[in-house]
A and B are shown apart, each in its own frame.
Chain A
């Protein structure tokens, strides 16, 4: 065998089988580089990648397409505005109903009954004539009106007394003309006469328990006078019948 004594040979022998463990970082760097290269290769392969889809896909899409986006957007806006208005309207209605309910509830709540120990001063307002309505009964005013009517009633009584007084000569007080006129039908009465129907106030007087005494005098009339009166009445009635038009 040939011996190697040269220094080159010594280096060669010493370093030819040299092994040194690299650091972990070295492999990580290499691995990253490999990954990056792989990523780039994959990216490049998919660049501009296309595939033809099934023609039936378009049919599926077409059934879901909108007709006009602009009109649809406008309709959407109108729908939104309408919805806002509707919500506002419902809110207003709701709040009004709540208010009304509160008012009704407040009206239905009974006022607390005062206890015996408590002194409650109640002020009842006196209504004027203008304030008087069908639902307000003004006691003071009613009394006042009733007293006036009672005065009037007294004067009526006195008048009736005067007319029907036995002491007076009725034949003198009522002359024939007046009797004749009183027997005329109502539509033929002269001016200044009118049929008077009792007013409501009169009924109120009755309700107020006013004593109204009507005295009916007994007048002694002779037979001849009665007959003459009957004749006069008949004559007046026949006169009025003949004067009245048939088609009236």
Chain B
């Protein structure tokens, strides 16, 4: 579906970064073309649909180009980019926190079954659809814990919630996914 088979044979080195800082449009476009597919993958995981993921991608790259001179080169550039996009997604979560409505009934979580075999059969795009169906709070915690590898303590700090809330949100997210996978099976 959206997975890119196009591989850009370029090297993002210091010259490209310097060009981006000096406002060179060609360098900026090169950097965007190189990293956009990877970052869009992240945006899709944190968004509920394709269009909101596009908005997130745009906001993230604008933030990257405005703060590119602050990259010290301590870690990998891709890791730095990734953090910016995750933080942008978290900002979006905070903005929508008050508007969040939980559409799920607690009863659906109780029927948990093993879903390993289903997971094996599912393509990543299908799994993405399942994640996008999660409410924003669950989706954010699920992404941060399961995919990014943050601890509950770190998630609590990032989202300004308690450890317990982070744990319960993750448990509910998993139950919700299991329920959906059971229906698919």
Contact = CB atoms under 8 A, between A and B. Distances in A.
Contacts of B32: 58, 61
B11 interface: no
A41 interface: yes
B69 A70 contact: yes
Interface string B27-64: 01100110011101100110000000010011001100
B22 A52 contact: no
Interface string B64-106: 0110110000000000000000000000000000000000000
A69 B145 CA distance: 35
A70 B146 contact: no
Given A45-B124, A62-B25, A73-B69, A57 B57 contact: yes
B116 A38 contact: yes
B65 A57 contact: no
B81 to A, nearest CB: 13
Given A42-B146, A49-B124, A68 B114 contact: no
B68 to A, nearest CB: 6
Nearest to A34: B114
A50 B58 contact: no
Interface string A119-151: 000000000000000000000000000000000
Contact of A49 (B3, B36, B62): B3
A66 interface: yes
Interface residues of A, number: 30
User: What band does the interface of chain B fall in when counting residues whose beta carbon is under 8 Å from A?
Assistant: 35 or more
A51 B23 contact: no
A41 B40 CA distance: 21
A43 interface: yes
A43 B147 contact: yes
Interface in B105-132: 112, 114-116, 119-120, 122, 124, 127-128
Interface in A33-54: 34-35, 37-39, 41-43, 45-46, 49-54
B37 A50 contact: yes
Contacts of B116: 34, 37-38, 41
B22 A64 contact: no
A52 B33 CA distance: 9
A52 B58 contact: no
Interface SS, B side: helix
B29 A66 contact: no
A52 B40 CA distance: 7
Contacts, number: 102
A65 interface: yes
Nearest to A45: B124
Task: Find the residue from A43, A50, A65, A67 having the highest chain B CB count within 10 A.
Answer: A50
Nearest to A46: B147
Interface in A45-94: 45-46, 49-54, 57-58, 60-62, 64-70, 73
Contact of A70 (B6, B21, B174): B21
Given A57-B58, A65-B28, A52 B21 contact: no
A46 B127 CA distance: 9
Nearest to B44: A51
A68 B21 contact: yes
A66 B66 contact: yes
A61 B21 CA distance: 15
Closest 10 A/B residue pairs (Cβ): A51-B2, A50-B37, A67-B23, A52-B4, A49-B41, A68-B23, A53-B40, A69-B69, A51-B40, A39-B146
Interface of B: 1-4, 6, 21-23, 25, 28-29, 32-33, 36-38, 40-41, 44-45, 54, 57-58, 61-62, 65-66, 68-69, 112, 114-116, 119-120, 122, 124, 127-128, 145-147, 149, 174
Interface of A: 31, 34-35, 37-39, 41-43, 45-46, 49-54, 57-58, 60-62, 64-70, 73
